[in-house]
A = this chain, B = another copy of it.
Amino acid sequence: MKRTGFGFEIVAQEGGARVARLSTPHGVVETPAFMPVATFGAVRGVSPDELAGLGAQILLANTYHLHERPGEEVVAGLGGLHGFTGWRGPWLTDSGGFQITSLGDRVTVSEQGVSFSSPLDGKRRDLSPEKAIAVQEALGPDFAVALDECGPARLVGEDEDGARRRASAALERTLRWAERCRRAHRRGDQALFGILQGGIDESLRRRSARETAALGFDAYAHGGLGLGEESALREAMVAAATRELPASAPRYLMGIGRPEDLLAAIAIGTDLFDCVLPTRNGRHGNLFTRRGVLHVRNARYRSDPRPIEEGCDCPACIRHSRAYIRHLLHGGESLGARLASLHNLRFTLRLLEDARRAIAERRFASFCSEVRAGLDEGPR
């Protein structure tokens, strides 16, 4: 990356997998890295100090949501995302195209941009590529993301050709918007991600990657995945696109968080991830362990004095039993959701720490096999 204050230095490789140092104006991120999701500028129930303690390096917020509330001018007036939220490390903002598209009937997409009626007040709002960039320049994250058009992989009743035509049209519009975003983007202390589309069609994915890379972005994100497609299909899409991307730029797979999916994507050269899974699963009592998901609300844990996961160094495992966390979740006590989220976040961040170490020591392939075998065993 050529921007001041930024850098991307690959320090180890094993096959497609790589460890790198991603420098930003707000600190270095060791990749592969997982970004906890702070949609509105806060990870659900978790404070900035706790996130640092868990080993989080970079957080993700959402452009659309922060534009709606409190508005980028409020965030900018309080020192941007860093000052507003108290998380002084690096930030990335998603463009919000995906979130807007998920509003369904409320949205119309035209060449100019996206128009939607706000769920907050019902009023009409417009988000063009230029506006998406302007909002992100005001929010001030280290990384902004271009606005994309992201449709469903296949509409109900639609044939394969129809889905492909739609994916192709969305990819072409996303390319035209990418160009407009790149031109609109002025902030020198902010890097810009191009975003790839192409549905679940390998040739479209390749084309999207090739043409987006030709425009020249600081980094690249795989968009429009994690929408229910099979893991193997998704991995094929990511692998196909990755072959067309410059090795010197970070690659980000959006919205993926299952341990086995993270490892598979790392193996084919992905550097960044985000997902709501750790916090959302945590709130529902579904706790990650290296032996698979532990459903702590289950009656069998009613008197279980053990931590969620033996050997885990998270605040929940260090101090509390499965029985206590189960009790809190059953009673709707918010400390329960918080402890469960802390564990799942630490689990995910630790998995990536271990993956980085394994790549650096050239034993990532066997590390992945071990982790996968463990996940299949089921929790004790």
Contact = CB atoms under 8 A, between A and B. Distances in A.
Given A74-B302, A78-B324, 19 more contacts: A40-B328, A40-B331, A41-B327, A42-B333, A43-B335, A44-B333, A44-B334, A47-B315, A47-B319, A47-B335, A47-B338, A48-B319, A49-B315, A70-B330, A74-B323, A78-B321, A334-B337, A334-B338, A338-B338
A333 B85 CA distance: 13
Nearest to A333: B42
Given A74-B303, A320-B86, A327 B40 contact: yes
B45 A338 contact: yes
A77 interface: yes
A374 interface: no
A305 interface: yes
How many monomers of this protein are in the complex? 2
Contacts of A303: 74, 77-78
Contacts of A315: 47, 49
Nearest to A323: B78
Interface residues of A, number: 39
A46 interface: yes
Interface of A: 40-49, 69-70, 74, 77-78, 84-86, 302-303, 305, 315, 319-321, 323-324, 326-328, 330-331, 333-339
B45 A324 contact: no
B327 A69 contact: yes
A54 B191 CA distance: 40
A50 to B, nearest CB: 9
Contact of A86 (B319, B326, B334): B319
26 contacts: A40-B327, A40-B333, A41-B324, A41-B328, A42-B328, A42-B335, A43-B335, A44-B335, A45-B45, A45-B335, A46-B335, A47-B315, A47-B338, A47-B339, A48-B319, A49-B315, A49-B319, A70-B327, A74-B323, A74-B327, A78-B323, A84-B321, A84-B327, A85-B324, A86-B319, A86-B320
Contacts of A84: 321, 323-324, 327
Contact of A324 (B86, B305, B320): B86
